[in-house]
Amino acid sequence: MITFPEFPFHTPDMTLLQTQFKDALERFKAADTFKTQVSLLEEIYALRQDFDTNRDLGRVRHTADTLDEAYKTANQFFDENGPIYEGLTSDFFRALLASPFREQLEAKFGPQLFAIASLTIKTFDPSITEDLQQENQLTSDYMQLLASAKIPFEGEERNLSQLGAFTTSVDRAIRKGAQEARWDFMASQQDKLDQIYDDLVKTRTKIAHKLGYENFVQLGYDRMLRTDYGPEQIAQFRKLIREYVVPLTTKLHQQQAERLGLPGLKYYDEPLQFADGNAKPKGDPDWIIDQGQEMYDRLSPETAEFYRFMKDRELMDLVSRKGKAGGGYCTYISKYEAPFIFANFNGTGGDIFVLTHEAGHAFQCYRSKGQLISEYQWPTLEACEIHSMSMEYFTWPYMDLFFGEQAEKYRFGHLLSSLLFLAYGAAVDEFQHRIYELPDLSPQARNALWREIEQTYLPHRDYDGLRHLEEGGFWQVQRHIYAAPFYYIDYVLAQVCAFQFWMKHRENPEETFKDYVRLCDKGGSMGFLDLVSFAGLHSPFESSSVESVVRYISAYLSTESEKWRPSKD
């Protein structure tokens, strides 16, 4: 059994790859039988697998230690050569769409591959190669800048992830101090952050114009492979969030202030949900990993097998440390059919949240591993997030393994945070639409725009006079805005679907989890709305979907909140 640290890595020989790829592609085009063309398709995907495997290994090892010069160099290699690889993929997709055996290929591999191919070739042209390299470099610069944070706090030097542990302190002075330290760092880097984002917006806009788009918005959607909805449907969805969610968030924050014994919430109070402290796991990361095995053993035979695979092959890097990039993600090392989970545990309940969330992604990959068509290993991202967010709820019955007597508190806080997130997620999405529709805004105007949108979706937020945030600087800490444009509303769409799974699971857990497994098995072989329907869920674009989940959760939270209402003398 080979473990993750033993997975060999190399930077591909791009000259050799291009020669082999183009040779296989010419033979693919010239194939005179369907069987021959399928065989050559397999040869092309084998070449792609080698590149994908090394790119993803390089990314994991670079984010695990951004100070490692060898993997920093490897990351730069993939920033520079990724666009060349995209060009090869686009050439293949053009040939696929033009195949004389297309009808047979579509019958064998499904129509989703051809929908993906059509969008992919729209988003690439050799003329944008240098621009894509520049975009990749700027994104890496942003990630490197945040990973470089060395913030003195409570007697030690902390990175941004480590600082997060103090933002839920029951001592108001400590949580306020932690937030101020965080934002002092962000403010000290504002000029660099402004420049990186300004360059990103202009680069992406230039790419869009070269490809014939009016602006980056539709190009952004096409890059996300959104085959069954567009900006108009998303605008209507954000309207539903403003109508049904935003008024409720104000009420829920008032209730939170009452639980904390405060006249009102300041921004640094929001992460703390209970006066005696949020639920925290009872052990260290190794203990959490072991408890995770017990949890997944209890959940189902499928999850038991999956989690043991992850543990035995060391496919999880969970502890925050110096030089490690922030955040969490799941990726898939295709040659080894191995999902990989990356996170930054900091001793809070968020550790269990991120474990179950990323395990949802990893479980889906594990279930749909071995796909010849790499595009089917993952669905589009809003569908991916259904897997991850739903797993958070399917594991609810086992939270006592991590939190003991505080399990009920964790469940309440988790559901509350998930509901409150909807408004913030919609705000991030509207901000990005407006930015790319107005790409020449100055940094100051961008900040003012964020503050305007923030006050629409988060009208309760009180920054207690902190200048950097009052002037609209909060958005710069949101990595997706820099690194993955338009990948944020995906969480909101998926959350509405995950809430439906939670509601159904409360009534019929066994059948609901079977539906979930079947959804994971489908991988990316269908578009988002088809996957939603296949899973027996209602489209989040339907107003009744948003209204019904908000009403149900509101009633649940109202009942549960009575348990933590402070007593009156």
Convert the pLDDT of each residue in 138-176 to its tens digit. 999 999 999 889 999 999 999 998 898 899 999 999 999
pLDDT for residue 108 is more than 80:
yes
| Residue carrying the six token digits 């790859």 | 17
567 confidence band (pLDDT: 50, 70, 90): low
pLDDT (average), residues 113-117: 97
13-20: average pLDDT: 98
Percent of the chain clearing pLDDT 90 (strictly above): 93
Q: In the 3-class helix/strand/coil scheme, how is 52-89 assigned residue by residue?
A: HHHHHHHHHHHHHCCCCHHHHHHHHHHHHHHHHHHHHH
Task: Give mean pLDDT, residues 100-104.
Answer: 97
pLDDT in tens, 17-47: 999 999 999 999 999 999 999 999 999 999 9
pLDDT of residue 569: 52
| pLDDT band (50, 70, 90) for residue 321 | confident
- Cα–Cα distance measured from residue 478 to residue 470, given in angstroms and rounded to the nearest whole number: 17
Q: Tell me what the mean pLDDT of segment 207-217 comes to.
A: 98
| pLDDT tens for each residue of 540-552 | 999 999 999 999 9
Distances (CA, A) of 410 to 43, 400, 560: 49, 9, 12
**Calpha distance 136→183 (Å, rounded):** 26
Tokens 């964790």, residue? 410
pLDDT at 495 exceeding the cut of 80: yes
Confidence of residue 370 (pLDDT cuts 50, 70, 90): confident
Could you give the C-alpha distances from 141 to 76, 136, 374, 551, in angstroms and in order?
A: 10, 9, 28, 43
Mean pLDDT of the chain: 95
Residues 6 or more apart whose Cβ sits within 8 Å of residue 215: 205, 208, 436, 437, 439
What is the DSSP code string of 365-429?
HHHTTT-SSGGGTS--HHHHHHHHHHHHHHTGGGTHHHHGGGHHHHHHHHHHHHHHHHHHHHHHH
pLDDT above 80 for 565: no
**pLDDT of amino acid 165:** 87
pLDDT tens, position by position, 323-334: 898 889 999 999
Would you state the torsion angle of the CA atoms of residues 348, 168, 552, 453, taken in this order, to the nearest 10 degrees?
Answer: -120
Is the pLDDT score of 356 beyond 80? Answer: yes
Summarised one tens digit per residue, pLDDT across range 236-287 is: 999 999 999 999 999 999 999 999 999 999 999 999 999 999 999 999 999 9
- pTM for this prediction: 0.94
Tell me which of 39-53, 86-100, 310-324 is least confident.
Answer: 310-324
Does the pLDDT at position 504 exceed 70? yes
| pLDDT tens digits along 220-232 | 999 999 999 999 9
**pLDDT: is 560 or 272 the higher one?**
272
The per-residue pLDDT for 371 is 86
Residue-level pLDDT at 368: 94
Q: Which of 224, 238, 234 is nearest to 527 (CA)?
A: 224
**Angle formed by the axes of helices 407-437 and 231-244, to 10°?**
130
pLDDT computed for residue 150 by the predictor? 92
